[in-house]
Structure 1
């Protein structure tokens, strides 16, 4: 769903453009721009993407940033990637497919 690589930064996985856009903000509610709204509408129109995003949100949203960092550091995509390296789509897909993607 991203056009750029996911990076293994010190505190967890990062999409650099998302990090740069929201850096230093405690809440993004007031920072939602037209592109973010268009992205949201695209996600809502695609049932497969919508289901994956909603499942991930439901699963991870109650957790704190510190809890998420600790968790990512225990998961295979993180453990298989050097710091500042690219976490490949194949590693992510293979790790999470059994957790978040329903077989059709």
Structure 2
């Protein structure tokens, strides 16, 4: 399994250099969306709710005191430990969140329940658990695009093994009285329903 350092290394290789705050938030979103796509963590290091958003403590210790980071600043990371699918997911996260500033990413994570709930529990660095991340971002990804808030981003996930449905999906499937070919699977039924909700 990859480490948070490996994920951070690939992000830095793709972006050349980043502010440390921004890197931490991008690593967090990679973990969150990997949980949604595969139902498995991308790395095992815990993510904590710090005042300025989610932080991987072990990664922070590697760059403590540095504001900006380049790939050579994380010698313990290796992007070669990541699979091509993991790399594609990280690229999807960067395509979605990579142009946001550090401050925008901090504000965004503060509006989302995984960080907010962990912070409310202790206000001193409580762990953000995988279940809360998976549940929140899966719920966001299941919403039809027209029902999402402008600040609810969903990356185009490569070959996701898991598909989440929302109540609108179920209603559309149940009300589908299309006499054409019945869907071959629940996934096909969800795709049709979402296309009809459009």
The answer to whether the superposition gives a TM-score over 0.5 is: yes
Following superposition, the deviation at residue 29 of structure 1 comes to 3.0
Aligned residues: 99
Instruction: Provide the TM-score with structure 1 as the length reference.
Output: 0.80
- Deviation at residue 14 of structure 1 after TM alignment: 0.4
Larger radius of gyration: 2
Higher RCO structure, 1 or 2 (CA under 8 Å, sep 6+): 1
> 2:74 maps to which residue?
32
Native 8 Å contact 1:7 1:85 kept in 2: yes
Could you tell me which residue of structure 1 aligns to residue 34 of structure 2? none
In 2, distance between residues paired with 1:9 and 1:31?
A: 22
Contact 2:62–2:74 (Cα < 8 Å) also in 1 = no
Gaps of 5+ in 2: 1-41, 142-153, 162-198
Q: 1:41 to 1:85 in 2, by over 3 A?
A: same
CA distance in 2, matches of 1:19, 1:32: 11
Could you tell me how far apart the structure 2 residues matched to 1:92 and 1:18 are? Answer: 19
Residues in 1 aligned to 2:137 and 2:84: alpha-carbon distance in whole angstroms: 19
Separation (CA, whole Å) in 2 of partners of 1:61 and 1:36: 20
Match of 2:61 among 20, 23, 31: 20
TM-score norm. by structure 2 comes to 0.45
Q: CA deviation at 1:5?
A: 1.2
Secondary structure in 2 matching 1:80: helix
> Which residue is 2:106 aligned to?
69
